[in-house]
């Protein structure tokens, strides 16, 4: 078994456990999520900035799915797709802070695995916008408490709170601030890592399903450590620093990942484990590599290269994700397999179900397919959509006070004490959604503000056409449009695109 690079001063934590995990016929399944990790910012995918050497080494020893996408570039909806194997239109988690009354939380991986004899653990170091909790099937949760009070106290600065917030005493006195990455200058990556390990080793009598997420690369892209990047020059203007700070956080989360994997190895859990490394979404920084160019002399323009994530469906930097699988039970197998098929985060759940050997994916009505063996084949349609976006999120330098002012009227506190989007905002959100379908190198997008002008994009060449001006025969746009219209046909807010869908249906009738 290869050992990941260790960071200096790392205390692996915990000791090798007795044989419980290793003796199980079912593998331990560990999902490691790294927030906002763009594949093209890793060395494995060609970035030369030396930002992610430990992640690169893991990828080099794994089966890597090089064309992986998130169906929704926001953390909670993405994790809903990871845990259900469903597209957002089916799992109903259509935006962050959605009221749980819209969700069926019994149809999730943690519940299925728990019912099959697994111990289930959820670890998340910033839970204000990710309301997944024990009700989704987890036996235990590591990280700050999720409630509306967290939006207030996370910003509260006091010496005693700062001193205690990451301690056991602090977890009782200030649960919203415990291990909270949102408190960027108090957050300690090693303490979060160790808290996960401490929870893990309390019981090794069952196979474990652990989903652990690391939020350092997410906004505000700051921590208590500022470091110089050897391959990038720090911008002179603060408003241009976002991508520099993001890359700083990639270096730091890379070290955190290495330390965490070393701690896992030290417990013995990896000896009978499959580890899936993924990101929930990427991020947009108005980078030149995300720019789309018109393939024809189009009569209109649109903004495709926006900042942030889930702000539009055109920015592939926000929707492309890392997905890699490493089976520690078979250290001698070829570690450098690469799949060039398009895959999605909806494929994670059926993959886990097959790994655990507990049922077929049809039983759970999943949209995804298992990534094991030869299940993933072209062609297949993958769907993407956008979320609830405030104008402030798309700016070069985000003003948090202005963002709060823009969003104040959108939320309320429910009976459980959670901050949720008000019901009256639901139609507005659904009506403003961008929707897209991917097929091979092609993406067909529908945007409410230009509903009669679908946009066809080649994601490989980064060129786009107004659909009515595309004259090639490489893009199966008729089939793509029909697939999208059928996928969203009963979806609130999709009536905006009736004209395009009527044309797709008529074309289908004519062809058949």
Q: How confident is the model at residue 4 (pLDDT cuts 50, 70, 90)?
A: very low
Full strand arrangement of the beta sheet holding 442-446:
293-294, 463-466, 455-458, 442-446, 435-439, 382-385
User: How many residues does this entry show for the chain?
Assistant: 512
Backbone dihedral angles phi then psi of residue 311, each to the nearest 5 degrees? -85, -25
446-499 residue pLDDT tens:
999 898 899 999 999 999 999 999 999 999 999 999 999 999 999 988 988 988
Q: Whole-angstrom Cα distance, residue 291 to residue 417?
A: 42
pLDDT at 6 (0 to 100)? 34
CA-based nearest residue to 195, from 179, 176, 211 = 179
User: Any idea what the Cα angle at residue 371 is, between residues 366 and 373, rounded to 5°?
Assistant: 125
Ramachandran quadrant class, 115 (left: phi over 0; alpha: psi -120 to 50; beta: rest) = alpha
User: Any idea what the Cα angle at residue 392 is, between residues 389 and 398, rounded to 5°?
Assistant: 130
Residue 56: C-alpha distances to residues 40, 50, 211, 322, 326 (Å): 11, 10, 20, 11, 13
In the three-class reduction of DSSP (H, G, I as helix; E, B as strand; rest coil), residue 411 is classed as: strand
CA-based nearest residue to 29, from 343, 355, 361 = 355
Backbone dihedral angles phi then psi of residue 269, each to the nearest 5 degrees? -65, -30
Question: What mean pLDDT is predicted for residues 265-289?
Answer: 95
Percentage of the chain beyond pLDDT 70 is: 84
Residues facing residue 421 across a β-bridge: 411
63-109 residue pLDDT tens:
999 999 999 999 999 999 999 999 999 999 998 888 889 999 999 99
Backbone dihedral angles phi then psi of residue 107, each to the nearest 5 degrees? -100, 65
The rounded mean pLDDT for the chain is 86
Residue 495: C-alpha distances to residues 122, 421, 437, 483 (Å): 38, 23, 17, 15
154 or 432: which leads in pLDDT = 432
CB 291 within 8 A of CB 297: no
Which tokens hold the place of 487?
């996928």
229-246 residue pLDDT tens:
999 999 988 878 999 999
Q: Whole-angstrom Cα distance, residue 357 to residue 351?
A: 10
| Residue in this structure with the two tokens 């492309």, named with its chain if needed | 320
494 or 1: which leads in pLDDT = 494
Least confident of 190-204, 264-278, 351-365: 351-365
CA-based nearest residue to 393, from 378, 407, 403 = 403
CA-based nearest residue to 118, from 353, 371, 363 = 353
CA-based nearest residue to 80, from 280, 217, 284, 274 = 280
Q: What does DSSP say about strands 382-385 and 435-439: parallel, antiparallel, or unpaired?
A: antiparallel
85-97 residue pLDDT tens:
999 999 999 988 8
Q: Whole-angstrom Cα distance, residue 432 to residue 410?
A: 15
Backbone dihedral angles phi then psi of residue 219, each to the nearest 5 degrees? -45, 135
Percentage of the chain beyond pLDDT 90 is: 60
Q: How confident is the model at residue 511 (pLDDT cuts 50, 70, 90)?
A: very low
pLDDT at 10 (0 to 100)? 37
Backbone dihedral angles phi then psi of residue 49, each to the nearest 5 degrees? -85, 0
Q: Whole-angstrom Cα distance, residue 511 to residue 476?
A: 13
Q: Whole-angstrom Cα distance, residue 197 to residue 121?
A: 11
């Amino acid at each position: 078994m290869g050992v990941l690079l260790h960071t200096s001063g790392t205390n692996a934590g915990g000791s090798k456990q007795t044989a419980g995990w290793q003796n199980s016929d079912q593998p331990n399944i560990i999902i490691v999520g790294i927030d906002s990790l763009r594949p093209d910012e890793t060395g494995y995918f060609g970035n030369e900035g030396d930002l992610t050497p430990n992640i690169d080494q893991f990828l080099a020893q794994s089966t890597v799915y090089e064309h992986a996408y998130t169906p929704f570039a926001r953390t909670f909806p993405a994790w809903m797709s990871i845990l259900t194997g469903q597209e957002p239109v089916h799992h109903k988690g259509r935006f962050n802070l959605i009221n749980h009354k819209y969700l069926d939380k019994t149809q999730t991986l943690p519940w299925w695995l728990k019912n099959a004899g697994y111990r289930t653990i959820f670890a998340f170091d910033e839970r204000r916008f990710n309301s997944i909790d024990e009700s989704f099937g987890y036996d235990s949760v590591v990280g700050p408490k999720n409630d509306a009070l967290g939006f207030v106290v996370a910003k509260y600065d006091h010496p005693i709170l700062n001193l205690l917030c990451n301690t056991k005493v602090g977890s009782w006195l200030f649960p919203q601030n415990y291990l909270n990455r949102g408190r960027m200058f108090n957050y300690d990556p090693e303490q979060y890592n160790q808290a996960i390990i401490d929870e893990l080793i309390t019981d090794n009598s069952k196979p474990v399903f652990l989903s652990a997420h690391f939020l350092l690369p997410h906004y505000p892209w700051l921590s208590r450590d500022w470091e110089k990047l050897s391959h990038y020059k720090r911008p002179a203007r603060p408003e241009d620093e976002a991508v520099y700070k993001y890359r700083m956080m990639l270096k730091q989360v890379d070290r955190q990942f290495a330390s965490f994997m070393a701690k896992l190895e030290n417990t013995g859990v990896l000896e009978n484990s499959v580890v899936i490394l993924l990101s929930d979404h990427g991020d947009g920084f108005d980078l030149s590599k995300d720019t789309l160019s018109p393939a024809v002399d189009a009569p209109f323009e649109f903004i495709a290269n926006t900042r942030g994530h889930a702000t539009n469906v055109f920015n592939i930097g926000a929707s492309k994700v890392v997905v890699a699988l490493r089976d520690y039970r078979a250290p001698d197998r070829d570690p450098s397999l690469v799949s060039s098929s398009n895959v999605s985060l909806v494929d994670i759940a059926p993959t886990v179900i097959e790994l655990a050997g507990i049922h077929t994916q049809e039983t759970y009505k999943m949209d995804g397919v298992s990534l094991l063996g030869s299940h993933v084949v072209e062609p297949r349609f993958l769907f993407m959509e956008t979320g609830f976006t405030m104008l402030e999120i798309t700016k070069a330098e985000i003003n948090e006070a202005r963002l709060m002012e823009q969003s104040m009227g959108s939320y309320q506190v429910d009976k459980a004490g959670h901050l949720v989007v008000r019901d009256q905002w639901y139609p507005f959100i659904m009506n403003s959604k961008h929707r897209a379908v991917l097929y091979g190198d092609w993406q067909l997008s529908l945007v409410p503000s230009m509903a009669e002008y679908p946009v066809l994009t080649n994601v490989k060449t980064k060129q786009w056409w107004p659909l009515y001006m595309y004259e090639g025969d490489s893009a199966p746009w008729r089939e793509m449009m029909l697939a999208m219209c059928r996928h969203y046909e009963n979806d609130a807010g999709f009536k905006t695109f009736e004209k395009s869908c009527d044309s797709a249906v008529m074309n289908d009738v004519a062809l058949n």
